[in-house]
């Protein structure tokens, strides 16, 4: 969580830092701050509580601060309430010019209380409640003993337990920014005479598409147009840049009111691009990940590990893989995976799903699987991310940068890869024949156009969302794959519109949940699985007789649902295994328009951040 930026070069740093922070605000928006050093060596630190615009107004978008080197931060609060004192950057002394060290931090320092006690005894005074101030003053403590930045940072890294990405200005090294990381992301972009630091690619995509990834337990010295890397033993490292192929314009709103609605509209392209990357002469091809036919045939079971929407992808993939490929699949919330001592067979495959490739719990689960010698496959959207570097095999979604906190197009692209895996594993293991294999591929190829067609119905959904803009509770129900999609629809509703929303397997309603149904309660039923259709309709009727208002999302042809539901959205016919990719689109639109009707900040919902890089 939190966002870090940095710049050193010939231009004024503050406007670039503010622009980059604006592109990273999805990582946290409780407070923000920047530190800029001018040509006379004077460092100015400005901080503000609240959204980035508060800081921007303080410094006129950065135009009031002069200097060609600086660091910035947008905060998602962990230690200490959101206020100006707890905002970053933090300093080692009482004033920036009296401070040997000025720094910003993303992560959680688990032993900060122990370290703080040591530093207080050494004479340090603390002005905030944050663990970040502890890290900055710890670096200063070691800098006084070992007056070289690399040694001071390395010593601090050895003492800190937890996760961190640090960007640090040393007063004695006027033209350098030092960075270090462990389990929190940090990238560095270099172009002619300029160097940029950021927590995530979109922050600097406008300026350069050639980036370095700072490795785990590594440091970097950043200067104008150059960067040097070191391990924790201060040995210099050689690295190569990674060229990001995302279009810089993809990180802009492009005329849409919000990123979320833009990204909903980008789903057909994300589906098409991702599918094209996995097709070779009309046949599916996952061998670029290193999953060969021999490996596919040897997989005895699959464990899918993910968080949030990616976990919902895993739930849908479980139904599809088990039904098509006949491989047993277990789905775990990543934050729980390590703690229930999972029993994994020698020939198991652990699939980790993450948009950013930096999700802390998913990364920890990956490492747990690898420590047991289990083969791992990652489904990711970001090239070169931490999970990408550590997984045995990687399949990339080609969704492009996703800026809105609530995922849409990345979810859809991940679902598509789940389908591709199911079909390819089934074929390689002889579970389906050539005819069925070609049928599934043909069905997958219809997805982008059918998704495009669904977007044309958005005005009806907007009307319905405005009708229920004052709703307090909503329930989403379905069976099988429909239940998995209901989980995602419910999450979209609660995370951007703040409506209390829950998803249930429809058959579970009578086991307690139906007691919550009262007059006006909104119930959304998802009905794309023919063999389960009548059962789900019966569950919807049970709720209607108790006062619920019914919305249905059904496959075209089930027009009799209008006798039961008060409002119906139809999705195009497709093989039932793949229907979830279409069903989710009206649910995304419903969540989006519900938020808009309530006048909320759709792209930056309260208390949330895009990339969860702390446990």
User: What pLDDT does 609 receive?
Assistant: 62
User: What pLDDT does 201 receive?
Assistant: 87
**387/380 Cα distance (integer angstroms):** 8
Tokens of 130: 């944050």
User: What pLDDT does 295 receive?
Assistant: 96
Which residues lie closer than 8 Å to 48 by C-beta, 6 or more apart? Answer: 31, 32, 33, 54, 55, 58, 84, 87
Backbone angles phi, psi at 318, to 5 degrees: -55, -50
For the chain, the C-alpha Rg in angstroms (whole number) is: 25
User: What pLDDT does 60 receive?
Assistant: 87
Q: Tell me which of 47, 182, 269, 610 is the catalytic residue.
A: 610
Q: Which domains does the chain have, with CATH numbers?
A: 3-244 (3.60.20.10), 252-445 (3.40.50.10490), 453-602 (3.40.50.10490)
Q: In the chain, which stretches have pLDDT less than 50?
A: none
- Edge-first strand order for the sheet with 500-505 is 500-505, 473-478, 522-527, 549-555, 567-571
* CB of 71 closer than 8 Å to CB of 89: yes
Question: What letters, b where the CB count within 10 A reaches 16 and e where it falls short, cover 184-218?
Answer: bbbbbbbeeebbbbbbbbbbbbbbbbebbbbbbeb
Q: Catalytic site residue 610?
A: yes
User: What pLDDT does 83 receive?
Assistant: 84
Q: For residue 525, what are the β-bridge partners?
A: 477, 552
Q: Catalytic site residue 221?
A: no
Determine which helix (DSSP H) or strand (DSSP E) holds 423, and give its type and residue range.
helix 409-428
Q: How far is CA 232 from CA 156, 158, 179, 235, 392, in A?
A: 10, 8, 12, 7, 25
For residue 442, how many other CB atoms are within 10 A of its CB?
A: 11
Return the sign of the alpha-carbon dihedral for residues 472, 569, 355, 207: negative
What is the pTM for the complete model shown?
0.81
Where helices occur in 429-551 by DSSP H, the ranges are 434-445, 447-454, 458-467, 481-497, 533-544
Q: Tell me which of 2, 221, 307, 543 is the catalytic residue.
A: 2
Length of the chain: 615
Backbone angles phi, psi at 275, to 5 degrees: -65, -45
**533/531 Cα distance (integer angstroms):** 6
β-pairing verdict for 522-527 and 473-478: parallel
**55/30 Cα distance (integer angstroms):** 11
**224/69 Cα distance (integer angstroms):** 9
> For residue 75, which of 19, 132, 126 has the smallest C-alpha distance?
132
**132/192 Cα distance (integer angstroms):** 32
Would you report the helix, strand and coil content of the chain in percent, each value rounded to 5?
40, 25, 35
Which residues lie closer than 8 Å to 171 by C-beta, 6 or more apart? Answer: 41, 43, 97, 99, 100, 101, 102
SS (H, E, C) 528-553: CCHHHHHHHHHHHHHHHCCCCEEEEE
* CB of 104 closer than 8 Å to CB of 89: yes
Question: CB pairs under 8 A, 24+ apart, for 510-518?
Answer: 510/542, 513/475, 514/542, 514/543, 514/546, 516/473, 516/475, 517/475, 517/543, 517/546, 517/547, 517/548, 518/546, 518/547
Q: What is the pLDDT of residues 297-308, one digit of tens each?
A: 999 999 999 999
């Amino acid at each position: 969580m939190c966002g870090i930026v940095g710049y050193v070069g010939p231009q004024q740093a503050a406007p670039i830092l503010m622009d980059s922070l604006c592109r990273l605000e999805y990582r946290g928006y409780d407070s923000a701050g920047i530190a800029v050093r001018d040509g006379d060596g004077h460092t100015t630190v400005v901080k503000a509580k609240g959204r980035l615009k508060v800081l921007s107004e303080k410094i006129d978008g950065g135009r009031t601060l002069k200097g060609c080197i600086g660091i910035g931060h947008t905060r998602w609060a962990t230690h200490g309430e959101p206020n100006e004192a707890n905002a970053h950057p933090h300093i080692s002394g009482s004033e920036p010019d009296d401070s040997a060290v000025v720094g910003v931090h993303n992560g959680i320092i688990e032993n900060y209380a122990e370290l703080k006690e040591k530093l207080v005894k050494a004479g340090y005074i603390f002005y905030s409640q944050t663990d970040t101030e502890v890290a900055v003053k710890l670096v200063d403590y070691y800098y006084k003993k070992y007056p070289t930045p690399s040694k001071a940072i390395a010593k601090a890294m050895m003492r800190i337990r937890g996760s961190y990405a640090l960007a640090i200005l040393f007063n004695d090294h006027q033209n350098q920014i030092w960075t270090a990381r462990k389990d929190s992301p940090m990238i560095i972009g270099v172009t002619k005479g300029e160097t940029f630091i950021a927590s995530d690619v979109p922050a600097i995509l406008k300026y350069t598409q050639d980036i370095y990834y700072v490795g785990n337990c590594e440091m970097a010295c950043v200067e104008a147009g150059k960067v040097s890397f070191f391990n924790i033993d201060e040995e210099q490292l050689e690295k190569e840049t990674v060229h990001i192929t995302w279009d810089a314009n993809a990180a802009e709103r492009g005329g849409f009111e919000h990123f979320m609605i833009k990204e909903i509209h980008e789903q057909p392209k994300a589906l098409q691009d991702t599918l094209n990357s996995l097709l070779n002469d009309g046949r599916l091809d996952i061998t670029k990940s290193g999953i060969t036919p021999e490996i596919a045939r040897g997989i005895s079971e699959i464990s899918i590990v993910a968080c949030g929407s990616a976990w919902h992808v895993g739930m849908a993939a479980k139904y599809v893989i088990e039904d098509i490929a006949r491989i047993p699949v277990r789905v775990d919330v990543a934050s729980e995976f390590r703690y229930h001592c999972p029993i994994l067979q020698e020939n198991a495959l652990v699939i980790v799903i993450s948009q950013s490739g930096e999700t802390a719990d998913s990364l920890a689960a990956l490492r747990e699987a690898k420590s047991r010698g289990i083969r791992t496959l990652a489904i990711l959207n970001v090239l070169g991310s931490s999970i990408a570097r550590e997984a045995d095999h990687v399949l990339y979604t080609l969704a492009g940068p996703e800026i809105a906190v609530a995922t849409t197009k990345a979810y859809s692209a991940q679902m598509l890869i789940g389908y591709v895996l199911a079909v390819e594993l089934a074929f390689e293991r002889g579970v389906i024949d050539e005819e069925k294999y070609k049928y599934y591929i043909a069905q997958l190829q219809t997805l982008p156009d059918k998704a495009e067609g669904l977007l044309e119905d958005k005005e009806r959904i907007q009307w319905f969302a405005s009708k229920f803009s004052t709703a307090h509770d909503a329930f989403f129900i379905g069976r099988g794959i429909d239940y998995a999609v209901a989980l995602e629809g419910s999450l979209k509703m609660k995370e951007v519109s703040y409506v209390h929303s829950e998803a249930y397997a429809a058959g579970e309603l009578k086991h307690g949940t139906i007691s919550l149904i009262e007059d006006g309660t909104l119930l959304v039923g998802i009905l794309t699985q023919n063999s389960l259709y009548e059962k789900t309709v019966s569950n919807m009727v049970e709720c209607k007789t108790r006062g619920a208002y019914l919305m249905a999302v059904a496959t075209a042809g089930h027009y009799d649902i209008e006798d039961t539901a008060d409002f119906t959205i139809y999705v195009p016919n497709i093989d039932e295994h793949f229907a979830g990719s279409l069903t989710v689109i009206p649910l995304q639109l419903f969540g989006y328009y519900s938020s808009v009707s309530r006048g909320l900040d759709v792209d930056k919902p309260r208390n949330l951040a895009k990339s969860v890089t702390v446990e």
